[in-house]
Amino acid sequence: MDPFEVIGMAEKNAEQHRRSANENEASENAGTVDLRHFAFYAFAGRTGAVRWTRKNENIQTLSSDASQLIPQHNYKLDVHALNTRHPGEFECREFRESVLGVMPHHWDRREDTLLKLAHFRRHKRKALKKTQGKSTNYPFHKPEENHPPGKDDTKKISNLIGKAAKYAGSAKSKKPLPYVPTITNYTQLWWVPNVVVAHQREGIEAVHLPTGRTICKLHLQEGGLHADINGDGVLDHVQVVGGNGAEQTVVSGSMEVLRPCWAVATSGVPVREQLFNASICHHSPFNLFQHGEFSRSFSRTPDFGSLEVATPILIPRNDGHRHRKGSHGDIIFLTNRGEVTSYSPGLHGHDAIWQWQLLTGATWSNLPSPSGMMESRVVPTLKAFSLRVHDNRELILAAGDQEAIMMSPGGSLLTSVELPAAPTHALICEDFSNDGLTDLILVTSNGVYGFVQTRQPGALFFSTLVGCLIVVMGVIFVTQYLNSMKGKPRASSGPR
């Protein structure tokens, strides 16, 4: 039986009882916009028929504390809470590697909602030592029976007859059927997706493709970057503090308060420890007083009232070791003053090492107008993208209200693009020209603009010329070598 089938056995009955109450409450709140409202619709690709639907009409914000997710460990759960918890809905620990495989995650606005296909597998536990007379099985496998009823292992004649009958039945010729992998309840191939992962405001949710059941729902703190930044297999959270000059608590449940223009990274869900905190503005060449209370006491106190920061991103870093995709890399930060800063994880995953800082033209401002009215809000862009489709080498794209820049992971400015208008959405990186090169789409309040990436003919000509010169030099070298071998006099072997 499919493990996901075992997870959702009791969900159908509970869903029927909740459906009527959810519909009544949704009709009462129809006038308000709830960003937590999320509905899934699955359609058949060939016929367009509805496969399944699932609606989250009334989503309550639940704590991500592991002790509160297990009814036996939470004495405050009432009968309603026990009934509303779906079997396996919050059991993301069973799929910890798969959850890390769909990272990074960030959600700041409605446009950040994203759907991705993935293949979820259970966490592989260490094999236990087998003792005689016992067998260890997974709960979703059929238990083995060492002594099935009606069978006597002491009778050798009956055992021989049974083995002969089994051998005769298995001797029939079976024609191999052509296997076409499809998404079913029994999909086990790692390269065939079996879930769709929704990145939404409250975190991530993995929905089983064939049935539409939620098999894993991980509540993550809104804002910031969620990823395994140091490659230790634990989900981390990086958040930037800025705006309005007011001090604010970065991590929920933490008593530490950081000033604007500072970034803090924590490890674990729920938070177990703090990895680092570092400044992303006006970096000192000697990196003096970079961490802790000393930096807050001796640092300059500029006006942070208009400071805005973009959500940080993770750029993979090659350190000679093999890491999971989307983990272990440099963290890139961007402020509305055009400061792009890069940090890398320190030794053993703690602290942060400053890599570089670049002052660019990717600036923006969302200050209210003199009349007091807020105009269309400028949405900055900070994302990793590749020049070619399906290319593993990623660059950094940063954009403000007038200019977009492209940088290498090492901090080199590659090129810049002037924007005709201020973006109201983050820049979209897609190949709409169908030439294999990544293009840019700009969405503004007065229109949509597309920027096509083109190959430079000069660069192609230069590459061809260099290749021809290398070939000519090789031919000349081989020719001279052969001529020198022919011109040498041979030593006579006979007596003179």
- Could you list the residue range(s) of the whole structural domain that residue 311 is in? 225-337
Whether the predicted pLDDT of 20 surpasses 60: no
Q: Are 238 and 331 in contact (CB under 8 A)?
A: yes
Model pTM score: 0.68
Number of other residues whose CB lies within 10 A of the CB of residue 310? 25
Rounded average pLDDT over 4-29: 50
Query: Do residues 18 and 62 share a domain?
Result: yes
User: Which pLDDT score is estimated for 151?
Assistant: 56
* Pick from 95-109, 162-176, 220-234, 404-418: least confident: 162-176
Give the residue, 189 or 287, on which the prediction is more confident.
Answer: 189
Domain-located, residue 489: no
Rounded average pLDDT over 287-315: 63
Categorize the per-residue pLDDT at 356 as very low, low, confident or very high, splitting at 50, 70 and 90: very high
Q: Which of 218, 241, 268 is the last residue of a domain?
A: 218
Domain-located, residue 231: yes
Give the residue, 110 or 256, on which the prediction is more confident.
Answer: 110
Task: Using alpha carbons, list the distances in angstroms from residue 95 to 54, 125, 302, 427.
Answer: 22, 11, 46, 32
User: Which pLDDT score is estimated for 183?
Assistant: 57
Rounded average pLDDT over 216-237: 89
Rounded average pLDDT over 162-180: 60
Domain-located, residue 143: no
Q: Are 422 and 362 in contact (CB under 8 A)?
A: no
Give the residue, 486 or 380, on which the prediction is more confident.
Answer: 380
The pLDDT > 70 percentage for the chain reads 59
Query: Do residues 320 and 433 share a domain?
Result: no
Query: Do residues 206 and 100 share a domain?
Result: yes
Query: Do residues 237 and 114 share a domain?
Result: no
Domain-located, residue 96: yes
Categorize the per-residue pLDDT at 223 as very low, low, confident or very high, splitting at 50, 70 and 90: confident
The pLDDT > 90 percentage for the chain reads 30
Categorize the per-residue pLDDT at 334 as very low, low, confident or very high, splitting at 50, 70 and 90: very high
Stretch (H or E) spanning 484: helix 457-487
User: Which pLDDT score is estimated for 61?
Assistant: 46
Q: Are 268 and 234 in contact (CB under 8 A)?
A: yes
**Tens digit of each residue's pLDDT (9 = 90 or more) over 470-487:** 999 999 988 888 888 776
User: Which pLDDT score is estimated for 79?
Assistant: 44
Name the range with the highest mean pLDDT among 25-29, 35-39, 429-433: 429-433
Query: Do residues 212 and 324 share a domain?
Result: no
User: Which pLDDT score is estimated for 360?
Assistant: 93
Query: Do residues 88 and 190 share a domain?
Result: yes
Would you call 171 helix, strand, or coil by DSSP? coil
Categorize the per-residue pLDDT at 391 as very low, low, confident or very high, splitting at 50, 70 and 90: confident
Give the residue, 328 or 16, on which the prediction is more confident.
Answer: 328
**Tens digit of each residue's pLDDT (9 = 90 or more) over 235-273:** 999 988 776 544 555 565 566 666 778 888 888 888 888
**Tens digit of each residue's pLDDT (9 = 90 or more) over 63-76:** 444 444 444 444 44
Q: Which of 161, 194, 218 is the last residue of a domain?
A: 218
Q: Which of 167, 200, 218 is the last residue of a domain?
A: 218
Number of other residues whose CB lies within 10 A of the CB of residue 236? 27
Query: Do residues 230 and 207 share a domain?
Result: no
Whether the predicted pLDDT of 336 surpasses 70: yes
Query: How many domains are contained in the chain?
Result: 3
Domain-located, residue 155: no
Query: Do residues 61 and 207 share a domain?
Result: yes
Domain-located, residue 300: yes
User: Which pLDDT score is estimated for 318?
Assistant: 73
Task: Using alpha carbons, list the distances in angstroms from residue 129 to 132, 138, 141, 145, 147.
Answer: 10, 15, 19, 19, 21
Query: Do residues 94 and 192 share a domain?
Result: yes
Amino acid at 239: Q
Query: Do residues 19 and 112 share a domain?
Result: yes
Domain-located, residue 177: no
Query: Do residues 266 and 303 share a domain?
Result: yes
What radius of gyration do the chain's Cα atoms show?
31
Whether the predicted pLDDT of 406 surpasses 90: yes
Average pLDDT of the chain is: 74
Would you call 300 helix, strand, or coil by DSSP? coil
Domain-located, residue 306: yes
Query: Do residues 409 and 386 share a domain?
Result: yes
Contacts of the segment 29-35: beta carbons below 8 A, 24+ positions apart: 35/110, 35/201
